[in-house]
A and B are shown apart, each in its own frame.
Chain A
Amino acid sequence: GAVVSQHPSRVICKSGTSVKIECRSLDFQATTMFWYRQFPKQSLMLMATSNEGSKATYEQGVEKDKFLINHASLTLSTLTVTSAHPEDSSFYICSARDFRSYSYEQYFGPGTRLTVT
């Protein structure tokens, strides 16, 4: 159980375009999903917390107008990188908490590797 999928797994886009990444919890419901970014040889940095039915909470320094998050259902959250630039190239990973669980552990999707040329 506790499977999280992410799509696409890899995307290459041109500078100035927008990219949408989907995160789905496949066998559980997640009122809260999280979006992380990981640069090479660095650890995961939380970008935002996505709450079903409400606005996402962004971490300090993360531009909410650039990284649009939508969490329209208990099993789907999307991250849209708008007007992507080469410095946005990174590994984007989502995670989800099972809302029935008392534990704070999160289950991670397989990640999306974004390359902006």
Chain B
Amino acid sequence: AQSVTQLGSHVSVSEGALVLLRCNYSSSVPPYLFWYVQYPNQGLQLLLKYTSAATLVKGINGFEAEFKKSETSFHLTKPSAHMRDAAEYFCAVSTTGTASKLTFGTGTRLQVTL
């Protein structure tokens, strides 16, 4: 079984401040980990993914995440928030296999204030 926990359903930061969105996962086998972003009234799009290569993963729009096996974490960061980053962010986990399923966390809504 696999699961994802996202700490904090709402995070508010000032424009220019560090963004840190937390994700912890549970998986009985080596996981693949993803961060997706959802802008209002849209579908989800991939920010970045970890697939057992480099543990520090860089994504689009200046976001990055670090896979830490010892902490079972995959936190998402961005050094300087921009107003356009306001959205909902989902962490997700899957595993190998043709019938592998993607399991999502409950999401974190990021608010960026002036």
Asked whether A and B interact, the reply is no
List chain A positions with a Cβ less than 8 A from chain B: none
List chain B positions with a Cβ less than 8 A from chain A: none
